[in-house]
Chains A and B, each alone.
Chain A
Amino acid sequence: MASYILKRILAAIGTLLIIMAITFFLMNAIPGNPFLSEKASPQAIELAFKKYGLDKPLIVQFRNYVSNYLHGDLGVSLKMQEGTDVAKILFQQGKFDLSIKLGISALVLAVLIGIPLGCIAAYRRGTWLDGLLRVMTTVGVAIPTFVLATLLLAVLAVQLRWLDPKSGSLTDFRSFIMPVISLSSYYICYVAKLTRTSMLDAINQDYIRTARAKGVKTRVLVLKHALRNSLIPVITYLGPVTAGIITGSFVVESTFQIPGLGKYFVQSVLNRDYPVIMATTVVLSALVIVMNLVVDIAYRLVDPRITLTNREG
């Protein structure tokens, strides 16, 4: 187990390096630079370039990034909070916490609502309830996040004036409603569909017949024998869910004016604030990687046929 986790950490570092490289060269490929503005003279820009090392060849710049990162130095912001430590911007101004709060809420909802809905649909398959849930979840996975967010904003905030269009720092429950629904709706529906399918699959397995033949109660049959088996595909899906929630948060935080990592990331791209783009990408990628590791361990806990040590990280 320990050696497996060590292996996974090494693999994660490799993955992060590749992500850094891709991000670095992509962001340098977009036209423009952090110092462009109407007032800035070519001389001033050149000076700034020199100051921050942007005049050096790309490969040298990249090498510097990597070596700084290995020393725990994420660099300083070039534009948005010029001169401020990027690590400080991301972690000490509440941005990270805010996004984590939003993301975890969405993830928890996807699991806590999606799985029971899927179980109910499977258990009552063929009934009106199953039909209703099928329609709802099909609609749910068909609506893109940005459409749902805009719709909620238009109806609940603008039309009915029930909720504040600006969610801000998510300090009260009401401000949570729209962002969390927009962010999790797709995943609730997808998890529900996935659970229903794998539950029905599990219910038809021979071991369920064995358990029935033993005299196991229907409730135990579903909640113990079928559910645990049907959770395996659902757990696997939680890795992609995390990645999806992170990308979704770019849209949702911007739409509902939540000053989190997602919104800041979008702004940093618009501002070509290279160190911020780089650091945010790495932090978010690390989150996804950690989540995938958690998923793998959870997977192991649910399915004894998988042993961590005999799989390559």
Chain B
Amino acid sequence: MRETDTLIKVEDLRVSFFTPAGEVKAVDGISYALGYNEVMGVVGESGSGKSVEAYSIIGLLQNPGRVIGGSITFEGEDLLAYTPEQMRQFRGNKVSMIFQNPMTCLNPVYTIGDQLMEALTCHDKSISRQDARARAIEMLELVGINNADKRMDQYPHEFSGGMRQRAMIAMALICKPKLLIADEPTTALDVTIQAQILELMKSLQKQENTSIIFITHNLGVVAEICDRVSVMYAGKIVEQGNVNDIFYQPLHPYTRGLLASMPRLDEDAHERLIPIEGTPIDLLNPPKGCNFAPRCKDCRKICLREKPPYADFGDGHISACWLHFMEAMNKGVGAE
């Protein structure tokens, strides 16, 4: 990818929560670049820092969370230098976000139409009510809601879960943002609805040319929609690459574990699913060496002493694991 094609660039981002018990390093030095019209999946178990990372892009971090290092550059602009008012104008306009639970994410006491139109009017004071309404109706139709004109005046409780998520998507896209952050948008929905929403997001992505950061703990969803994948563990990206590399040539033991623990359509249906043993580390007291070491079957001595650096496998495929360096050394020895 050429530098000019980069929409958002995150470099060595660090976010900590300063709790009474101590500093929780929720995001601990992650980097990636996302191009225009590109969909990146962010995968990892619950608590790995996926949401926190997303919130720092869109300025939704709340006390006691703070960005303590790194940079976020969006179309060449330094987001971390934005004033609160600049950030407000940026949110929902250039980047918007949808969330996990559509049942609680819409305000119960305002109509769907009101909430859609608000997304528009809080960035464009000059737009007339009729124009805003027309645009909102157009968006509802776009996300596949029938009778949009009538639906506009209904309240969230009159919508089903899937319909609300559609309305959320309509609301997120109404200002034609360059980037949509979807934080587990299908996790709370049942399987058939999940598939529909995913299908909708895929087609809208093509139609509107929106880049998407798609956060999920479900690798199956990633395969459906993403071009590239970042695998997160304990606040770090442990492996990153295009979707085929991650699925067919996973390198990091954690990614392999995730793949082994998920049902796959392309393999023998009777294959046993193997969950990753152990629980995520305590972010208050992270280990000195590799974060995954306590759960890793391939753990070596060095893993306990030092954090593994990234090994680059070309085409943007990187993985942070000591094994890669040992393999390289062994190969080197063998060649001599």
A residues with a Cβ closer than 8 A to B are 205-207, 209-217, 220, 225, 228-229, 302-305
Contact count A vs B, C-beta below 8 Å: 71
Q: Are A305 and B108 in contact (CB under 8 A)?
A: yes
- Which residue of B has the minimal Cβ distance to A214? B92
Distance in angstroms from B132 CB to nearest chain A CB is: 13
Task: Give chain B nearest CB distance to A142 CB in angstroms.
Answer: 31
Stretch at the interface among B116-124, B295-303, B314-322: B116-124
B107 / chain A contacts, CB cutoff of 8 Å: 207, 210-211, 225, 229
Interface residue count on the B side (C-beta < 8 Å):
28
Q: Say whether B108 contacts A214, CB under 8 Å.
A: no
B155 at interface by CB-CB < 8 Å: yes
Report B-chain residues with C-beta under 8 Å of the C-beta of A304.
108-109, 111, 155, 157
Whether B105 lies near A215 (C-beta < 8 A) is: no
User: What is the predominant secondary structure among interface residues of chain B facing chain A?
Assistant: loop
- Complex: A303 Cα to B104 Cα, angstroms: 15
- Docked-complex contact B108 and A215, CB < 8 angstroms: no
How far, in angstroms, from A214 to B181 measured CA to CA in the complex?
A: 12
- In the complex the two chains form, what is the Cα distance from A229 to B30 in whole Å? 38
B101, B107, B171 — most chain A CB neighbours (10 Å)? B107
By the criterion CB–CB under 8 Å, are B155 and A215 in contact?
A: no
Tell yes or no: B93 within 8 A of A by CB: yes
Among residues of B, the one whose C-beta sits closest to the C-beta of A210 is B105
| A302 cross-chain contacts in B, Cβ below 8 A | 109
Q: Is the CB of A210 within 8 A of B108?
A: no
Closest chain-A Cβ to B52's Cβ sits at a distance in Å of 13
In the complex, how many angstroms separate the beta carbon of B151 from the nearest chain A beta carbon? Answer: 14
Contact of A216 with B99 at beta-carbon distance under 8 Å, contacts A207-B106, A304-B109 already known: no
Interface pair A215/B88, CB less than 8 Å apart: yes
From B101, B104, B119, B157, A214 is in contact (CB under 8 Å) with: B119
- A-B contacts, 29 listed (Cβ < 8 Å): A205-B104, A206-B101, A206-B104, A207-B108, A209-B105, A210-B106, A210-B107, A210-B171, A212-B60, A213-B60, A213-B97, A214-B92, A214-B96, A214-B118, A215-B88, A215-B91, A215-B119, A215-B123, A216-B88, A216-B122, A220-B122, A228-B109, A303-B109, A304-B108, A304-B109, A304-B155, A304-B157, A305-B108, A305-B157
**Chain A nearest CB, measured from B178 CB (Å):** 14
3 smallest CB-CB distances across A and B, nearest first, come from: A215-B92, A214-B92, A206-B104
